[in-house]
Amino acid sequence: MPASISVAIRSSIIREGLRRILSDSLFDVSESVSSLEELQLAEHSGGEQHLLVVERDLLRPPLSADLEALASEHPGVRVVVLTSAFTFDEMIAAYSAGVYAYFPDDVPYMSLVAVLQMVSNGQKVASHEAVNYLVSLPSASLRTVDSASASLFNFRERELRVLEFLALGQPNKAISRELGINESSVKAAVKAILRKLGVENRTQAAVMARELISQRRPPTGKTQHDSARASSQASVAAD
């Protein structure tokens, strides 16, 4: 059975265009409205699969308030936010409030269809803007996860070190090289991290890691010399 979708976008032209694209992609567009107040989501709160595609500008600041209200009142509805002004901090706030995807509104329509298909299967999806931001962070920006916060997830020491590099978007091979451990050990740590955080992929883990981050720390390298050198680089960067 195709997923049913509600669309909430102010512009009637864009709204109608998206409705046709989704209908042609075998989604069941149950309603297409111009405001949150017009939504009839109560009809879809009985446990059946339902998605809500909402324009960012329809959500009142702070963004999390309306999103948390939607999640509380309609826990079975999976929300996808389309925004004209992507920001990393707002993306974190959106995912923290329970959304399944936060994407720029100029995303190619086939990509949006693919995202909605993944969301309909229960996946949370991050955009390439989010991934690019993580990858662009220099290694000197490595920060430590606050011990009090980390203890809530019962992380082991190696998992904490791997999580810090995940926050920078580092692949397993790079993490293996930085920590001086084999790649299979990194894969095992990543698997444990995903399970403990309750997320499904490393991008989601990276987003959560940045929420847990507190203070700057040098990369944990293979030797004390490597660590000292990284610490010096971090100090120079800070200056």
Quick one: 115 and 154 in the same domain? no
Quick one: 96 and 29 in the same domain? yes
Domain edge (last residue) among 62, 90, 125: 125
> What pLDDT is attached to residue 12?
95
Quick one: 173 and 211 in the same domain? yes
Assigned domain for 157 exists = yes
Distance, in Å, from the CA atom of 101 to the CA atom of 192, rounded to the nearest integer, reads 23
* CATH value at residue 23: 3.40.50.2300
- List the domain range (segments joined by +) for residue 79: 4-125
Global pTM?
A: 0.59
Count: domains in the chain: 2
Domain edge (last residue) among 102, 125, 148: 125
> What pLDDT is attached to residue 145?
60
Domain edge (last residue) among 60, 95, 125: 125
Quick one: 11 and 89 in the same domain? yes
Quick one: 121 and 173 in the same domain? no
Distance, in Å, from the CA atom of 171 to the CA atom of 40, rounded to the nearest integer, reads 43
Quick one: 54 and 151 in the same domain? no
> What pLDDT is attached to residue 187?
93
Quick one: 151 and 100 in the same domain? no
Quick one: 15 and 117 in the same domain? yes
Please list the alpha-helical segments (H only) found in the chain. Answer: 12-24, 63-73, 88-96, 109-120, 128-136, 147-151, 157-166, 172-179, 183-197, 202-212, 224-238
In terms of residues, how long is the chain?
239
Quick one: 71 and 176 in the same domain? no
> What pLDDT is attached to residue 150?
63
* CATH value at residue 224: 1.10.10.10
> What pLDDT is attached to residue 149?
58
Assigned domain for 70 exists = yes
Assigned domain for 132 exists = no
What is the residue-level pLDDT of the chain in tens, covering all 239 positions?
A: 678 999 999 999 999 999 999 999 999 999 999 999 999 887 776 556 799 999 999 998 888 889 989 988 888 899 999 999 888 878 888 888 889 999 999 999 999 999 999 999 989 998 888 877 766 655 434 455 656 656 778 888 899 889 888 887 788 888 988 899 999 999 999 999 988 888 888 888 888 777 776 433 444 444 333 433 343 333 333 33
